[in-house]
Chain A
Amino acid sequence: MNAPVKKKLKVATTSLAGCFGCHMSFLDIDERLFTLLEHIEFDRSPLTDIKEVHPECDIGIIEGGLCNAENVHVLRDFRKNCKILIAIGACAINGGLPAQRNHLPLSAILEEVYHTSPGLSNGLIPNDPELPLPLNQVHPLHEVVKIDYFIPGCPPSGDAIWKVLTDLLAGREPELGHGLMHYD
């Protein structure tokens, strides 16, 4: 028998009403990814083909706010299965740019995009049961479940994400120092 290998932490990630920019910023840790992989393994994530969050997932990282019913379902599933849940980026924290639609009635936006905008050959609002129902407004994650940590930025830098993850791996309370805490 080999010496017992320290169990790797399971990390699940998803993008709800986000743009994948926070996931890209995660990859912006560049070659430090390989160091990280010595300590973590990816669970459900756009980078893997695992579709269900493991019931004992250690860390869940969510970018994007909530714009439809399915987003809410996925968020609750992450909360249920992840010991630590992190809201990453502007959209997860306050709705971000997609929340710019919040001051408009949803029906008026759908009407314009699918019925009256120029260049359409036909008009109808997509309504198939396979499509999740859009919410009237875009909401941040903490309005629906408890969030343990927030990493602000649009997106936060790779350095900020690295700092939070390495703090957590080392058992420290994550802290973003000067230069890593920004909102743009």
Chain B
Amino acid sequence: MTYSLETAEHPERLRRVAIDPVSRVEGHGKVTILLDEHNKVHQVRLHIVEFRGFEKFIQGRPYWEVPVMVQRLCGICPVSHHLAASKAMDIIVGAKKLTPTAEKLRRLMHYGQMLQSHALHFFHLCSPDLLFGFDSDVTRRNIVGVAAEHPEIAKRGVLLRKFGQEVIRITSGKRIHGTGAVPGGMNKSLTIAERDELLKDIYQIVAWSRDAVHLIQKVHIQDPGLYNSFGIFRSNFMSIVGHNGDLDFYHGSLRARDDNGKIIFDGVDYQQYDKYIEEEVKPWTYMKFPFFRSLGKEHGWYKVGPLARIQNCTQISPLCRARAQGVRRLRRRLTDARTARLPLDADDRNAARGGGNQEPAAR
């Protein structure tokens, strides 16, 4: 793809502003911006500045090392890499089906991952912007500032993350870089005592998670003008979806939608990913640029991650559904649907018209 602001015509005449390092995000990066004398932006780039070469140096290692090696790609989401590698090694060792217990434990491990990473993102990293504003004092704009002025919010963030980390520890042996999943299954069970330890707090954790959704609704409603337009850009989406298109964090097939919610492909076996996805290399970042082969590199780029999963799935659990519905209702009430339109909203409109959408979105 080529963004309109990707490359300035005469960079030598422009002023360079760098955000280096990019902080309060999950990863290493640098942003450079080139502006003219009127402060008009001519070029913006996110540089991923680190090259590591995991693709190469895992080659030739014993297969059972791969799940513990590749999780060290990221200490924030190690479980996701640990499980992705374990699933790949399941195929290598011919484990077509795990025991039901092993699969449930792997799923539980990943739910722990989802919880701790979302808590980190929302409370530790983003909440200072949401509570104090993007331009607030730099010395206050962090989790320490939140702890000073909103101690209850900070504490809940810390405890939500802690619970997720404990789920990971109990299923994988360690909070970070555990060894629970092995090719073909799991090497750790869940004892009754461990199960009860988690059950003891789970309802409090669910209640606090709901409160976090209420918090973001409250923040949103205070400045709809800002939040309805902030960070919104139309794009294709891709994620895995489970049986019947359910939201799934562990296993399923690939589904992609365009920016109107229309299916591009669905039910694709992820082992065939290379038939659908290609990658472009650019000189100014070590990150590659994946795109759908069918749409080409200009139009085939796509979003992944939480937003894509929610937008893409056909249904989610009743509890999440109620939350998602609340958020979307709020969005509709506050916004001009044209500017803030997301694929789910497009589906809603189709459904309202009785249009032939075969994939009713989550509601």
Residues of chain A at the chain B interface (Cβ within 8 Å): 14-15, 17-25, 27-28, 30-31, 33-34, 37, 41-42, 45-51, 67-68, 70, 96-98, 100-101, 104, 108-110, 112-114, 117-124, 126-128, 130-132, 134, 154-155, 157-158, 184
Contacts and interface: CB of A to CB of B under 8 A. Distances in A.
Contact of B281 (A96, A120, A132): A120
Give the top 9 A-B pairs by smallest Cβ distance, nearest first. A21-B75, A128-B284, A19-B75, A109-B53, A100-B57, A48-B142, A109-B56, A30-B162, A97-B72
Contacts of A155: 75, 176-177
Interface in B262-281: 274, 277-281
Contacts of B30: 130
B281 A20 contact: no
A22 B277 CA distance: 33
Interface string B290-304: 010000010000000
Interface residues of B, number: 64
A132 B25 CA distance: 20
Contacts of A128: 47, 283-285
B72 A27 contact: no
A47 B49 contact: no
B57 to A, nearest CB: 4
A123 B283 CA distance: 10
Contacts of B176: 21, 24-25, 28, 155
A51 B21 contact: yes
Given A121-B279, A131-B49, A30 B75 contact: no
A63 to B, nearest CB: 8
A70 B49 contact: yes
Contacts of A34: 147, 151, 154-155, 158
Contact of A46 (B21, B50, B280): B21
Given A20-B26, A28-B176, A112-B55, A50 B138 contact: yes
A46 B57 contact: no
Nearest to A14: B21
